[in-house]
Structure 1
């Protein structure tokens, strides 16, 4: 099923939760809605499911207006973060539930339902759990049952709301790989909500980054990571160091910064702001440089350096502990900062004017790949 969302808005009280959402999802695609709490991703998922209604906009699935359909008419498979299994039912009965409550005219016979449940038990690799109750299952096992119950009705669209949010990291990694295999085997059109970047990029065909009720960027992992479309995306993707620079003849220049590895860009001259990740900052000892190492800590693999500039304040850099230059990076050492990758946004100096479109800065090494 292909999904088209057009101009979708939703307000709760005085809060705009969705602000003109435009999104297309192709048949058989797995799309992640990624963003912090309050970005509107769960509300969008619930509108697609028929659990919320928008104030304006359109929702078409295979050319059909789904805003005219009640939730039960959409044949949606929905997996909640808290599993929402029926505690008084066995795994087998939980899997069968969606089929047994269909209208009588559409309800399969008992033998057909039993066969479908057996098929799911084998497909989900939980045959030995069939007669257990939810309280007798681990979190990962309950999540498999919840997904199986959603798949039992052969949904038009599969929706998952933070499906692994309540699980520990190791189980989440295992289930991510498993869910990707399930998706490929079923070919279902799937949308899932997460605030976990690793989860979104490992699982999804495309990632939709949301912030404050808007879609900030849509794309694949590498494109979003290397070329964030806005300061919001840059910060969300880990570009937590922001440095003032000046653009001149397509080159960026900043106090105590070595930007020589960055490509020349066709940009207007003037002030700008550089967004860079701590791991993309390489401090180099330089007695004449204005930056100094304020503190140095280690987690075994990486050194975390707090860097201080007399006018610009502090920045952080992550350096491999075994790097050849690491020994010289001691507290109070003067350093110049080599920026290996980042994103720059020209600053519009007119009062109230919005910033210009982002301009990705990459090293020549990356460009040559």
Structure 2
């Protein structure tokens, strides 16, 4: 069974929020919709949930047209950022709520509801909280209760909208690991919305990067991190250093840079842009180099450095403190790039540099760009 979306579009007035979304989510898969605010993530989630309808396109679960089904008929479980628990109900009553409001023909008996609630309380490790009210719980505990309420109806698809956004950093990290374990144990098909890269990469089987109402790239977390398909994805995932380079016979060249570690790219000769992460740039002392270290700042374990040349090119790098021995402000350095992504400056906007024949790229890495 799979959830299939085809050419989903949605407009609010003159604003096109979703511009032709094609996406399939397989049974038991955990997929993250990742992107900045305004990219269309939550609108797409609401359409899947039956809380909104597209202007065009199709949405089907296991071949069943969900656009012809109400939210209740789709049997969706949804968890919101701010929990949306009923304050006058205990934990066990909150979890039981979805079962008690099912149509009479589908509603379990009281004993079966009680058994389901007790099983979920134990499964979610909150049995000791059964008789408490939401006001007596921590944020992390409330989120577990919200997840239990969503899971009680045995949803076909579980939807999470920024589920950890209201929690502090440590609680978010703990709950991410816990949620991944819950997902693996329950086997529920899950889609969650986030703007947090770390959250998406740690939790998801597959990440869908969205921007401006389109899907920029779809793939496994490590594939997207190592091989961003568009300049937007590169910038969004931390490749914040942009260096003008010249392509020659598939190799990038730039004065003062050692780019020999980069794989050959199937790009035409001429101007291109190399996207780098600061952590993938290594300054090396070199009296003949055109760059000089102008800034060195410490964050404890790391040293952040800035190198500049006479033409005003400013390159930031980040090294472990133990790798900075002998580097001082004012010292001439050459810069070595360990990894990066190259995009042709003559290609259409968003076009990625394809790999040359001697490189290997999995099929799933190819971008799903609309």
Q: What residue is the counterpart of 1:344 in the other structure?
A: 342
Q: What residue is the counterpart of 2:248 in the other structure?
A: 248
2:174 corresponds to 1:179: no
| Aligned partners of 2:230 and 2:350 also within 8 Å | no
Q: Report the CA distance between 1:359 and its aligned residue.
A: 4.3
| Gap change, CA 1:354 and 1:35, over 3 Å in 2 | closer
| Aligned partners of 1:342 and 1:360 also within 8 Å | no
2:205 corresponds to 1:205: yes
Give the secondary-structure state (helix, strand or coil) at the position aligned to 1:182. Answer: helix
Q: Report the CA distance between 1:335 and its aligned residue.
A: 1.1
Which of 336, 350, 353 does residue 358 from structure 1 map onto? 353
Q: Report the CA distance between 1:356 and its aligned residue.
A: 4.1
Give the superposed CA RMSD. Answer: 1.5
Give the secondary-structure state (helix, strand or coil) at the position aligned to 2:96. Answer: helix
In 2, Cα distance between equivalents of 1:152 and 1:355: 43
Number of corresponding residues:
357
| Aligned partners of 2:273 and 2:343 also within 8 Å | yes
Q: Report the CA distance between 1:360 and its aligned residue.
A: 6.4
Q: What residue is the counterpart of 1:38 in the other structure?
A: 38
Q: Report the CA distance between 1:231 and its aligned residue.
A: 0.2
In 1, Cα distance between equivalents of 2:44 and 2:334: 46
2:322 corresponds to 1:327: no
In 2, Cα distance between equivalents of 1:211 and 1:266: 26
Q: What residue is the counterpart of 1:367 in the other structure?
A: none
Q: What residue is the counterpart of 2:266 in the other structure?
A: 266
Deviations 1:19-41 (A, max 9, x none): 11000000111111111111111
Q: What residue is the counterpart of 2:364 in the other structure?
A: none
Give the secondary-structure state (helix, strand or coil) at the position aligned to 1:17. Answer: strand
Q: Report the CA distance between 1:75 and its aligned residue.
A: 0.6
In 1, Cα distance between equivalents of 2:354 and 2:316: 22
| Aligned partners of 2:230 and 2:351 also within 8 Å | no
Unmatched runs of 5 consecutive residues or more in structure 2: 360-370
Moved over 4 A (4+): none
In 2, Cα distance between equivalents of 1:355 and 1:246: 19
In 1, Cα distance between equivalents of 2:52 and 2:283: 51
Q: With the length of structure 2 as denominator, give the TM-score of the two structures.
A: 0.93
Q: Report the CA distance between 1:309 and its aligned residue.
A: 2.4
Give the secondary-structure state (helix, strand or coil) at the position aligned to 2:155. Answer: coil
In 2, Cα distance between equivalents of 1:128 and 1:135: 15
Q: Output aligned runs, 1:49-64, within 5 Å.
A: 49-64=49-64
Unmatched runs of 5 consecutive residues or more in structure 1: 365-369
In 2, Cα distance between equivalents of 1:180 and 1:211: 26
